[in-house]
Structure 1
Amino acid sequence: MAEADWDEVKYIGRRQPKSGTLKTPQALSAAQRQGVAIDTEKKFAGGQNKQHSAAKNTAKLDRETEELHHEHVPLDLAKLIQQARQAKGWTQKELATKICEKPQVVNEYEAGKAIPNQQIISKLERNLGVKLRGKDKGQPLEGRKEK
């Protein structure tokens, strides 16, 4: 064996304290005496249930929600749908069944509360036989075969 091996001292069964156990002042001072590296940092809102600064986020959220709004179905389109449906003698539920949507969807379109969906408007056009988009709104749909 080399002579350098005899200069090393190795302790068996004695471990360095983990950082999680250095919470009491006695454990900290014992670790300092042993020469263990101690990491001290102040944690933001440590021990509290605060995740964000609420004041900044609410103001930012208010600004964003004021600027953003959804476009709704225009009232002229809502009236066209309603008139075409009544001309066919259908209820909202019957029209909804024909376009494979819920009755609530037809109700929202006729009330002008729905967010326009081109697929649903297209289904309504085909089933009602009336143009609901473009310059000639309200005109009969050409090429429609009556059943």
Structure 2
Amino acid sequence: MSGTGGPISQDWAPVVLRKKAPTAAARKDEKAVNAARRSGAEIETVKKSTAGTNKAASSSTSLNTRKLDEETEILTHDKVPTELKKAIIQGRNEKKLTQSQLAQLINEKPQVIQEYESGKAIPNQQIITKLERALGVKLRGKK
């Protein structure tokens, strides 16, 4: 048996965690309240509306919600125009590519091509540029 020779000992000193000491103003307020209690005076307590909750931004959130509720205009995202859908399908068919093959060519998911051809996608100029290059067809500039 080799080593330093003695048993291993660990020093477990107690760790004491304390609350932060109250400020001078808080101590003064506390003393005044205690004095009032002892003399029998009436003490008014006011509960903070968001005390102990995580609702600091609730007032601004409710304002935004109200604005949305009062909004009468129907807002929607831009969709792929019919001309663009047809041009993508025609270009893909001329090159004899499947949606998956075209997606691989432009490094996008097949779902992206499917959404563009069905008109559900939100037009993205970068993707349209990739499609133009891959298909050799001009898809923009017809407006």
**Equivalences, count:** 115
Which stretches of structure 1, 4 residues or longer, exceed 6 Å deviation after superposition? Answer: 15-18
Cα offset, 1:120, TM superposition: 0.9
| Structure 2 residue 134 is matched with structure 1 residue 127 | yes
- CA RMSD in angstroms, aligned pairs only: 4.0
- Whose relative contact order is higher, 1 or 2, with alpha carbons under 8 Å and at least 6 apart? 2
Cα offset, 1:41, TM superposition: 5.4
Per-residue CA deviations over 1:57-87 (Å, capped at 9, x if unaligned) read 4221234695543211102211110121122
Q: Which runs of 5+ in 2 are unaligned?
A: 1-21, 39-44
Structure 2 match to 1:89 = 96
Superposition TM-score, scaled by structure 1 size? 0.58
Per-residue CA deviations over 1:1-22 (Å, capped at 9, x if unaligned) read xxxxxxxxxxxxxx999849x8
Structure 2 match to 1:116 = 123
Among residues 20, 27, 30, which one is paired with 2:35 in the alignment? Answer: 30
| Structure 2 residue 78 is matched with structure 1 residue 43 | no
Give the number of the structure whose alpha-carbon radius of gyration is greater. Answer: 1
Give the counterpart letter for 2:80 in structure 1.
Answer: V
What is the rounded CA distance, in whole Å, between the counterparts of 2:84 and 2:114 in structure 1?
Answer: 13
Identical counterparts, % of pairs? 58
Summarize the Cα distance change of 1:133–1:17 in structure 2 as closer, same or farther, 3 Å threshold: closer
